[in-house]
Structure 1
Amino acid sequence: MTEVFPDVGLREPAEPSGLVAAEERLGRSVPTELRQLLLESDGVLGHFLVNTVWSLDQIVETNLCFWSDDTFARKTPAMPRHPSTITPPWTGWTE
């Protein structure tokens, strides 16, 4: 990754057991590409130390927050109220 993006900041890899725990908390699998990235670096820092890719902990906490907040869980056909049926803010999740 640093060959393509030399200014990127990498972190220590996420632990495989942390990915399993995250999937249990979220009730769905982490997408394959995201899993591979997190096993190389638990998040990625871009220019000005901006979280370009969140850490595993931040991914879990943010999604749980979105799924439990009535602001994001409206009663509409596009976004059902039950958190397990809400589409996450990005694609690639599997159940």
Structure 2
Amino acid sequence: MWRELIGRLYSDAEFAAPAPDEEIDQIEQRLGQRVPDELRELLRETSGVQDEYGSGLVWSVQEIIEQNTEFRQSADFAELYASFDQLMFIGDNGGGDQFAFVQAPGERLGDVVVWDHETDERTWVARSLKDYLESRAASDGDDWYKQGSGQ
């Protein structure tokens, strides 16, 4: 389902090999957060998807673990930014901004936000992984999530 959807939305998408459940479970073990069902299903079909320019539409299991661990453990980031503990980064725009599932009490597990690396703003962009992929595909440019926001 996910490969078909992404293939229709992004004709130039590059798919990685599927990830076994044991590998996906490592995200939960290393980050202490539940992997949203949609993300688990996508990773079972492809452990990561890149666009034609190499931006991570959805990162691989290993990159999800590495990026989130780095953001949470970096002393420099701790001085510059609010905590990343309630986010699960899953992709990027190729220019520094990152997309994440919100994992905060009272928030829907499937909501996707963008983290702006220059301002530390966390802005809601989609109600699900599917919505995120469709919205990103329907807009032009790396800053598609800023369109209509006055930025």
State TM-score, norm by structure 2: 0.50
Q: Paired residue for 2:12?
A: 7
- Identify the match of residue 43 of structure 1 among 48, 53, 68: 48
Structure 2 counterpart of 1:91, one-letter code: F
Structure 2, unpaired ranges of 5+: 1-5, 90-99, 106-151
Q: Paired residue for 1:57?
A: 62
Q: Which has the higher contact order (CA 8 A, sep 6+)?
A: 1
Contact kept, 8 Å, 1:28 with 1:94, in 2: the verdict is no
Which segments of structure 1 move beyond 4 Å, counting only runs of 4 or more?
none
Q: Distance in 1 between matches of 2:103 and 2:18?
A: 20
Q: Paired residue for 1:93?
A: 103
State TM-score, norm by structure 1: 0.75
Contact kept, 8 Å, 1:30 with 1:94, in 2: the verdict is no
Q: Distance in 2 between matches of 1:32 and 1:64?
A: 21
Structure 1, unpaired ranges of 5+: none
Q: Distance in 1 between matches of 2:20 and 2:64?
A: 15
1:41-63 deviations in Å (ceiling 9; x for gaps): 10002113433221110110110
Q: Aligned Cα RMSD in Å?
A: 2.5
Tell me the number of residue pairs that the alignment of Structure 1 and Structure 2 aligns. Answer: 89
Q: Percent identity?
A: 29
Q: Secondary structure at the match of 1:14?
A: coil
- Identify the match of residue 18 of structure 1 among 11, 16, 23: 23
